Amino acid sequence: MSRPDVLIDAEWVQGHLDHPGLVLVEVDEDTSAYDKGHIRGAVKIDWKKDLQDPVRRDFIGRAEFERLMSERGISNDDTVILYGGNNNWFAAYAYWYFKLYGHDRVKLLDGGRKKWELDSRDLVIDVPARPATSFRAGEQDRSIRAFRDDVVAAIGHLNLVDVRSPDEFAGRLLAPAHLPQEQAQRGGHVPTAKNVPWSKAAEEDGTFKSDDALRALYGDQAGLDFAKDTIAYCRIGERSAHTWFVLHELLDQPNVKNYDGSWTEYGSLVGVPIEVGDAS
Amino acid sequence: MSDASGCGAPAGGVKVTGGVGTQAIVRGHVTSLGTPVLSGYARLLNSDGEFVAEVPLGEDGGFTFYAAPGDWTLRVLAPGGVRVERSVSANTGMITELEVAV
């Protein structure tokens, strides 16, 4: 993959809003943003209601994903362009999710909703009517998804990248600072994890830094061994999907997994090792 | 108050409900010529200048952060190249109010 295969800029999207075979999808946790205004023609996906199993902590199944795509009017031949708020966290998560279910015709709008807004580009409230399709998904590609046992086994052996803020990594905060600090789980990080906050991969306007800057960030500065497999995690797996996108899609690292259980699972496990304190 | 299954930042941030408790809250509004700035972002940076959190401004130009105690920088981004910073200290059990004119 090269950058143009996976990332697309706002100017191009602006000029191709009516291009056949392209489907814009806004993905957010708080979909009120979409309801107040979105890029013309975009359909919405609710990160929680649409992509999470309503009972168990897991994803919706293959058949449910097929149903979701079909209802949104997305076909297997369509190229999906994902964007969203929170610097594209949930859009990157959806990108990873689409890949998990085998849909390779997917790209991320560089900078997401934030860049679009800061550029003063138009947003509309009209919701498009797209005819239903018969989308077919693949089995989950487990080569890009890590589970808790993978993380424990990786301690001291593989690259573990904790992409939360330094204060969350150290255990001083249990959630991003825009959320109240009340959680059941313990604070800290997985031993041997490197702390590379997701935000270091992004410019202030939400666009990704250059490939050279990203390679230097994870290699020279953070000390990741690119010859080893990597697992990225955060709190619930969406910020780490942003880092998974950087490592796997932009930097072409072959074996990178996103641990979607992340700290809300790991920090609540009995018997696993935890470290606290700042990165050394 | 928060939902462990979520992580995103709603516009304006999560409202403070009930008491402040042990939170160290930084809250405020962004205005331009006395009018709330509706489209923009508030970013919280730590004392090293590192990004910590960001919220889209709310309908009243508002923002709320649940910081750790200490010194922070608030940076506002808005269309038209607006980029304004303010220093702020957060204290446990307190709400620090900050009004930012751009």
With bands split at pLDDT 50, 70 and 90, how would you rate the model's confidence at B1?
A: very low
Distance CA(A277)–CA(A223), nearest Å, equals: 18
Side-chain half-sphere exposure of B102, counting CA atoms within 13 A:
25
**Does residue A162 share a domain with residue A147?**
yes
With bands split at pLDDT 50, 70 and 90, how would you rate the model's confidence at B4?
A: very low
Confidence check: pLDDT of A173 > 50: yes
**Does residue A114 share a domain with residue A29?**
yes
Q: Classify residue A80: in a domain, yes or no.
A: yes
Distance CA(A229)–CA(B1), nearest Å, equals: 37
Taking CA–CA distances from B41, the nearest residue in chain A reads: A114
**Does residue A26 share a domain with residue A63?**
yes
Mutate to test the interface with A, among B1, B3, B5, B7 (most CBs of A within 10 A): B7
pLDDT in tens, A18-35: 999 999 999 998 888 999
Residue among A27, A100, A154, A234 flagged as catalytic: A234
Task: Look up residue A47 and give its amino acid.
Answer: W
CA nearest neighbour of A29 among A55, A1, A3, A49? A49
Distance from CA of A235 to the nearest CA of B (A): 8
Chain A environment of B8 (Cβ under 8 Å):
28-30, 47, 85-86, 89-90, 238
**Does residue A35 share a domain with residue A87?**
yes
**Does residue A62 share a domain with residue A135?**
yes
pLDDT in tens, B38-79: 999 999 998 888 888 999 999 999 999 998 899 999 999 999
Confidence check: pLDDT of A182 > 70: no
Contact assignment for A177 to B64 by CB distance below 8 Å: no
Query: Considering the entire predicted model, what is its pTM?
Result: 0.94
Contacts with A, B 27-66, CB within 8 Å: 39, 41, 43-44, 46, 48, 50-56, 64-66
Q: Classify residue A271: in a domain, yes or no.
A: no
End residue of a domain, out of A140, A173, A191: A140
With bands split at pLDDT 50, 70 and 90, how would you rate the model's confidence at B3?
A: very low
Task: Please state the rounded mean pLDDT for residues A31-47.
Answer: 94
> Contact at 8 Å (CB) between A112 and A88?
yes
**Does residue A154 share a domain with residue A103?**
no
- List the CATH number of the domain containing A79: 3.40.250.10
Taking CA–CA distances from A30, the nearest residue in chain B reads: B10
**Does residue A158 share a domain with residue A116?**
no
Q: Classify residue A205: in a domain, yes or no.
A: yes
Chain B environment of A93 (Cβ under 8 Å):
none
How many Cβ pairs closer than 8 A exist between chain A and B? 114
Q: Classify residue A279: in a domain, yes or no.
A: no
- The overall average pLDDT reported for chain A is 95
The domains of chain B, with CATH numbers, are: 24-101 (2.60.40.1120)
Chain A environment of B44 (Cβ under 8 Å):
177-178
Q: Classify residue A101: in a domain, yes or no.
A: yes
Distance CA(A42)–CA(A40), nearest Å, equals: 6
Q: Classify residue A245: in a domain, yes or no.
A: yes
Chain B environment of A57 (Cβ under 8 Å):
5
**Does residue A123 share a domain with residue A222?**
no
**Does residue A151 share a domain with residue A31?**
no
**Does residue A194 share a domain with residue A255?**
yes
Distance from CA of B89 to the nearest CA of A (A): 14
> Contact at 8 Å (CB) between A43 and A51?
no
With bands split at pLDDT 50, 70 and 90, how would you rate the model's confidence at A178?
A: confident
Distance CA(B22)–CA(A117), nearest Å, equals: 35
Q: Classify residue A217: in a domain, yes or no.
A: yes
- β-pairing, A159-162 vs A256-259, is unpaired
Contact assignment for A235 to B7 by CB distance below 8 Å: yes
Q: Classify residue A168: in a domain, yes or no.
A: yes
**Does residue A122 share a domain with residue A44?**
yes
CA nearest neighbour of A88 among A6, A20, A14? A6
- β-pairing, A194-195 vs A159-162, is parallel
The total number of structural domains that make up chain A: 2
End residue of a domain, out of A140, A171, A202: A140
Taking CA–CA distances from A117, the nearest residue in chain B reads: B79
A274 is catalytic: no
A interface with B, Cβ–Cβ < 8 A, is: 28-30, 32-33, 47-48, 52, 57, 85-87, 89-90, 114, 117-120, 165-167, 172-173, 175-184, 197, 199-200, 204-205, 234-236, 238-239, 264
Count of beta carbons in the 10 Å neighbourhood of residue A157:
10
For residue B20, the model assigns a pLDDT of 83
Contact assignment for B10 to A30 by CB distance below 8 Å: yes
**Does residue A46 share a domain with residue A20?**
yes
Q: What domain range is A225 assigned to?
A: 143-266
End residue of a domain, out of A90, A123, A140: A140
Residue B76: strand, helix, or coil: strand
Taking CA–CA distances from B78, the nearest residue in chain A reads: A118
Distance from CA of B35 to the nearest CA of A (A): 18
Burial of B33 (0-12, 13-18, 19+ CB in 10 A): exposed
